[in-house]
Amino acid sequence: MHYFLGEEFLAQGGWRIPFLVGCLVVPFLFIIRKGLEESPEFSNTKHCTRKLSEMIKNAILNLRLMLIGIAMVMTTTTFYYFITVYTPTYAKNILHFSSVQSFGVTVMVAFSNLFWLLVSGYVSDRIGRKKALVFSSVLGLLTSYPALLLLINHLNFPVLVGVELWLSMIYAVYNGTMAVALSEIVPKELKAIGFSFAYSVAVAIFGSLTPAVSTYFIALSNNPAIPGIWLSFVAFCSFIAVLLAYRKVA
């Protein structure tokens, strides 16, 4: 749309069109939900917590697990916001690529995410959640800053694509496993509020702040690769969280 309709049209309200197109998925969500059967874990539960006070009490009693869950989600949301939400701004305003290149690389990232999410889910079913999460979080910890430094030192579009696809792979391999792992480690009486609270807090604090944090530290350090340090930091936090979450699991 940016290429064919122009930046002015999008700025005046054309940006809403992709959101409207995205709404086409809503009927399919209702169809899928209508056909879903409740899991045996919940069907066999004699007491179902419906009172908000009970859910909050369960959340407080499992506060340690909730904090671990938030830390586990940190890598997912931070990497996602960097490679999708922040990349067009980062590539255009910081690295001075064209608008088409800046938006184009996010399209490539989207297809990469789809591919690696499926691969991650398949592989983690076979080797275990912990191994997949440790592998991807360590990869994020060790390679995020070097990857962005490589981009800064070799500033051209193929390298931009390569670095973004690399970060996309780390994100999707981690997220494709983490989403399932988090639901598995949360007790059944805490499934809904535990999963949603951990995910929402991590997104609100770490994910949504990633563009602002990245921009701030770039201005402060005059180093366009500095967001890689932020990505490495959250990957480290998630790595520790994974070890804590699976400490009692062989």
Cα–chain-centroid distance for residue 14?
Answer: 26
For helices 191-202 and 157-185, the axis angle rounded to 10 degrees is 150
Give yes or no for residue 55 having a pLDDT over 80.
no
Per-residue confidence band for 143, with pLDDT thresholds at 50, 70 and 90: very high
For residue 71, what is the enclosing H or E element? Answer: helix 63-80
Measured distance CA(138)–CA(144) in Å, rounded? 10
Measured distance CA(144)–CA(147) in Å, rounded? 5
Give yes or no for residue 75 having a pLDDT over 90.
yes
Give yes or no for residue 45 having a pLDDT over 80.
no
Q: What pLDDT is attached to residue 12?
A: 86
The answer to whether 194 touches 204, Cβ cutoff 8 Å, is no
Distances (CA, A) of 76 to 65, 172, 173, 174: 18, 8, 9, 7
Mean pLDDT of 79-94: 93
Lowest mean pLDDT among 2-6, 46-50, 141-145: 46-50
Give yes or no for residue 235 having a pLDDT over 70.
yes
Quick one: tokens of 158?
Answer: 């193929």
Per-residue confidence band for 51, with pLDDT thresholds at 50, 70 and 90: low
Mean pLDDT of 140-167: 96
Give yes or no for residue 83 having a pLDDT over 90.
yes
Give yes or no for residue 47 having a pLDDT over 70.
no
- Specify the fold of 52-245: Growth Hormone; Chain: A; (1.20.1250)
Give yes or no for residue 248 having a pLDDT over 60.
no
Q: In this structure, which long-range contacts are made by residues 119-128, counting pairs with CB atoms below 8 Å and at least 24 apart in sequence?
A: 119/172, 119/173, 119/176, 120/172, 120/173, 120/174, 120/175, 120/176, 120/177, 121/176, 121/177, 121/180, 124/176, 124/177, 124/180, 124/181
Mean pLDDT, the chain, as a whole number?
88
Per-residue confidence band for 249, with pLDDT thresholds at 50, 70 and 90: very low
pTM summary value:
0.84
What's the pLDDT tens digit per position in 171-196? 999 999 998 998 888 877 677 777 88
Give yes or no for residue 170 having a pLDDT over 50.
yes
Lowest mean pLDDT among 46-55, 114-123, 129-138, 191-200: 46-55
Q: Is the torsion defined by CA of 204, 108, 129, 35 positive or negative?
A: positive
Per-residue confidence band for 73, with pLDDT thresholds at 50, 70 and 90: very high
User: Domain ranges in the chain?
Assistant: 1-36, 52-245
DSSP state of 203: I
CB-facing half-sphere around the CA of 204: CA atoms within 13 A = 7
Give yes or no for residue 27 having a pLDDT over 70.
yes
Give yes or no for residue 124 having a pLDDT over 70.
yes
Place of tokens 């940016």: 2
- The shares of helix, strand and coil residues in the chain, as percent rounded to the nearest 5, are 85, 0, 15
